[in-house]
Amino acid sequence: MKFDPLQSEDDAGRAEFPGNRDEGIDILAFAASVWRRRAIVLGVAAIMFVIAFVYVLQLTPRYEASSLVRIGGPKSNVVDIQEVLQGPGQEQGVVDTEIEVISSRDLLGRVAGKLQLEQNPVFNPALRAGDGSAWRYVNPLYYVGLVRGLFAGQEQPSSGLTDEDAKVQLRSQITDRLSEMLKVRRVRLSSVVSITIEAEDPALAARLANTIAEQYIVSQYETKFQAAESASKWLNERLGNLRQEVEAAEGALEQYRAKTGQLSGSSNNTLLSEQASQLNAQLIIARTETATINSKLARIEEMYGTGGVEGVAKVLDSEAIVRLRSKESDLTRQIADLSQEFGARHPKMIGLKAQLEDTRAQIRQEVEKILVNLRNDAAAQRAKSNTLQAGLNSMQGEVGARSQQSAELSMLEREAAAKRTLFDTFLKRFQETSNSESLQQADATIVSRADRPRMPSFPKTGQFLILSIIGALGAGIGTAVFVERILDRGYRRLDQVEAATGLTALGAVPQVAGGDLIEAILNKPNSSFTEAIRNLHAGIRLSSVDDDAKVILFTSAVPGEGKTAISTSLAVLLARAGYRTLLIDCDLRRGRTDERLGLQSKPGLVELLVEPDLESAVQLHEASGLNVVVGGGTTRNPQDLLASNAMREFIARARTSYDYVIIDTPPSSVVSEARILAAAADRVVLICKWNATPRNIVIGAERQMAAAGAQFAGVVISQVAPRSGLIYGYDSYSPYYGKYGQYAQYYQD
């Protein structure tokens, strides 16, 4: 829905109609409304500008002075000298922290004490002289200060404070005032901070900005010295404790060495370990030999028990047994060879057998001798293994004891070495912290000192006056729009009434000087009023292109909108143009057609409907040839009379007898006659008085008539002021009026 700066709240809330525009903000309509109220715009703007100008003149100028400081944050890890001496970073958090330090009340209090601001009237109200200028009464802040002073005096009466409390309160007020004057901000993304003071005295502003920067640097020095002093004190105390711990650790180490006889925890038991390894190797060899001998002895004894000497002799690797078994073999072969020649009792056979037995006895003796030797060797080897095992066990016990002592000794050595290393580290840091010259440098430097400003920062008179002009014009325009919204409740433009009602705007009818409209129609065919009536006729014809609209009903929302004048003028114009036209005055309460046309008041419509006789009720307007049916006599029930069959039959007969039937009805929002006759008319024309009829009433009338079945031809704005421009331009825009107003020369008003 199109925005209209003059639209009422009732219009804004109504539903859209077909044909309504949706064009956004109507700039030209807004300009036109401002132009119409240009006197209000210029008057309000002039008053506002004068007030602003006077206000600027009485303002006390203020000056800004800025000093630039590159800042950072000191490190607090005193154990690492690099962190103690390292300069500040440029992180956002570091810069923001230092900005808060600069703005802190502690630093501002030091500045106040340094400059003795309690003796400055700017900060001490007791030293401030009263302003005798008459301009102070124009400044609203003067009255605000009076009220604040009044309430402040009631809250904290100075008479109840001691001298010390008064000094504390004054210092607090000075700090507050200085904090209000101070602005600290970071310069873009750098580590540079701008310290800005705004004061009425330019020299004071520069002095305060520089002093704050200097005191900040001094605070950095003091912070460094305090950090170094605290670090030295802490390191000194820590060194004393560490020295005692080192001495105690080294004393315990020496005592343990003396007690155990070990000089080093890492190498004292090396010899014992080597000896134990050698003894273990011997034990392994001895056990191996013992196992070999025992295995051999067991196998021989087993064979001796099962196979006798023969079986044992075969496996024993002995030269004597080999020789004896060879001899046994030879004797056995000889006996076998001689047994065929000699008998068993032959002496030679007996001798050989005796040698054989002797040899076998020697073998048995040799086997038994070997068994005895093996048993002795096995016993000796077992004894050797046992001896080696006992020695190894003893050696291992001694190695274990020495290992435990060595571990304890190593632990004591490491503890003593660690304490010694820590002590040396702290001693080195203590010497560096005590002797370093870097600790005497602050973490901030003054990049630029504040100079005394020459031009005030406030007020910026040129900008203020430009803004005042803009604001004054805005206030004037706002006032003009407000006045139009409050005072102009009616429609001023055709597009407004079209958008609000959804009806076609048939035109605008101007006011006529002297009010003789019929005279204008008859004798001034080129007048603006006559042309407006012609436009109305054309609009009605265009609204009924598809059908022949003969019966045209005129109505309005409220009385006094020119409904009768327009309907009568249209009827006269049509009759003068040669159309057979009948004008029916259906306003049976306050009909004035007879007076306007100079006709008799009776007989009229009332009489016609009571005694239907078309010829007897119709009067002729001789100047135009118009046939007229006036209202006639009075009646108590005009609604019933107009709703009767006689009225419908009369309109039907008139439709067949005339080219146009013009019906003038009472206002539709006041009485119901127009709604009763709405369905009988081919077209309905709604009259709306220019800039007068409330918009919601017009909309209500249109809705009532639409609900009664009215076929609207459109809406007409009546009694338009000639200089409004609406007669010569569709929407009354000033630029169009100026451009096309030349067509007014064709109107002979």
Min mean pLDDT across 193-202, 318-327, 545-554 is at 318-327
Q: Which of 688, 710, 708 is nearest to 699 (CA)?
A: 688
Q: Is the pLDDT of residue 630 over 90?
A: no
Residues with Cβ within 8 Å of 395's Cβ and at least 6 positions away in sequence, in order, are: 272, 275, 276, 279
Q: What's the full length of the chain, in residues? A: 749
**pLDDT higher than 70, residue 434:** no
Flag the least confident range among 48-62, 94-108, 356-370, 461-475. Answer: 356-370
Q: Assign 687 a pLDDT band (cuts: 50, 70, 90).
A: very high
Q: What is the pLDDT of residue 316?
A: 60
Mean per-residue pLDDT for 312-319? 61
Grouping H, G, I as helix, E, B as strand and the rest as coil, residue 139 is coil
Answer with the residue of higher pLDDT: 432 or 575.
575
Candidates 415, 46, 363; CA nearest to 253 is 415
- For residue 434, the one-letter residue type is S
Q: Which of 39, 52, 56, 50 is nearest to 476 (CA)?
A: 39
Tens-place pLDDT, residues 186-214: 988 888 999 999 988 899 989 999 999 99
pLDDT at 182: 92
Mean pLDDT value across residues 491-519:
82
More confident position, 304 or 585: 585
What pLDDT does residue 68 have?
92
Q: Express as a percent the part of the chain with pLDDT over 90.
A: 9
Judged by average pLDDT, the poorest of 236-250, 300-314, 403-417 is 300-314
Range of 16-20, 120-124, 263-267, 706-710 with top mean pLDDT? 706-710
Q: In this predicted structure, what is the pLDDT of residue 732? A: 42
201/453 Cα distance (integer angstroms):
9
pLDDT band at 611 (very low <50, low <70, confident <90, very high): confident
Determine the pLDDT at residue 298.
Answer: 74
How far, in Å, CA of 89 to CA of 74, rounded?
9
Tell me the three state secondary structure of residue 598: coil
Q: Where are the alpha helices (DSSP H) in 637-694?
A: 638-642, 645-657, 673-678
* Three-class secondary structure assignment of 53-113: HHHHHHCCCEEEEEEEEECCCCCCCCCCHHHHHCCCCCCHHHHHHHHHHHCCHHHHHHHHH
Please give the pLDDT value at position 661.
93
Would strands 619-621 and 626-629 be described as parallel, antiparallel, or unpaired?
A: antiparallel
Select the more confidently predicted residue: 52 or 406: 52
Query: How is residue 128 annotated by DSSP?
Result: P
State mean pLDDT over 640-655.
Answer: 88
254 has pLDDT over 50: yes
Neighbours of 118 (CB within 10 A): 16
> Secondary structure of the chain: what % helix, strand, coil (to 5)?
60, 10, 30
Gyration radius of the chain's alpha carbons: 67
Name the strand (E) or helix (H) holding 197: strand 192-199
DSSP one-letter code for 561? S
- What pLDDT is recorded for position 743? 46
CA 312 to mean position of chain CA atoms: 110
The per-residue pLDDT of the chain, averaged, comes to 77
**Structure tokens given for 694:** 């409330």
Tell me the range of 208-217, 282-291, 379-388, 480-489 where mean pLDDT is highest.
Answer: 208-217
Residue 153 has pLDDT above 80, yes or no: no
Give the confidence band of 14 by pLDDT, cuts at 50, 70, 90: very low
Label residue 8 by pLDDT band (50, 70, 90).
very low
Confidence class for position 620, pLDDT limits 50, 70, 90:
confident
